[in-house]
Structure 1
Amino acid sequence: MNIHLVSAVVALSVVSTQIAAQTFPPQHWAGESGLLSLGENGQVDLSAADPMDILRIEEAFIRWGLYYDEGRSDLLPSLFTESGEMVATLGSAEPIATFTGPEEIGGYVDATLEQQGDQRRHSITNFLVQEISESEASAMAYGIVMVAADGLSVGSSVVYTGDLTKGDDGVWKFERLTIAIDDYAGNLN
């Protein structure tokens, strides 16, 4: 296993222990920290956008959750560009871990799943395109992560933000996917 992956998993465990004693996170933290940008209803001009592109962008977010839940790190490369990043934050805009490239992201998921020991189900909600052109887009969604271990419970709530690029094949991939965790019940791993 890559030493950077091990370090990141250990860092996530340490941060979760340190944060457990705090009231966390503060209200409106994602917007106030600049991680999430909301405008007035109708502000984003979607008239020139292909409706299928919007659906394919939403599909990328949904597939992230499905691939994670089913342990399909072999499919993760299809979600990211070669230089794509996955950034994790916990209750602030400051990254606690950053992974670059499909293989490193897949390795992070594999390492996390090895330690996890429960079944998770991501529910992607409140999807919103914030900007879109023919080949680039920014979008966001909320996520609720259900955990089945000793019964079913809400494990976390998440704000996902993504910058995506449309390839020549028409597939939208993440240049950057930020997983901003509000807080996590129990162990972060």
Structure 2
Amino acid sequence: MSACLWPGDNPVMKQYHDNEWCRPSYDDSYIFEMLTLEGAQSGLSWSIVLSKREEYIKAFRNFDIRYCSTLSDEELENIKNEYNVIKSPLKLRSVRSNALAVLKLQTEFGSFSDYLWRYTDYRPQINIWDSEEQIPVKTPLSEEISKDLKKRNFKFVGPVIIYSFMQAIGMVDDHIRSCPYHTVNR
């Protein structure tokens, strides 16, 4: 069996591919982490963001949603200066605004997870691709979720980011068919 090629020889990317990517998660904190990291990745490579993941975990207290929702502009500026995170002020402010939006979703739907997973009837979509070139960058579903998240004041949630996010939390399994980490091969 041949695994997906995108992690290459990068050990951090390989660990993420082998142990997290396309594995279903229903944990709000992890889901918020992936939303934050996917938003931070906008315009950059995933390997850059993963290399800074530990700093994000420290800066945002393990992606504590309530904590992130209360961050002041000054605290966000301190995070920018004191931690090895992506320095974009817009991306850093989106952590706070997205945390506030998640809290509203939790009130409305019971959890961020329930809000998202209802789109797929609480089951991952298992795709069967023969090559990575077949994997889309967005889908009608990622466009639908993106549109709704934007209405709910989420930031950095375009349809391409949301499709990557869906892969990150396992709403879709986009491992190629020959990959030992594809659902059908585990």
TM-score by length of 2: 0.28
By percentage of residues, which structure has more helix? 2
By percentage of residues, which structure has more strand? 1
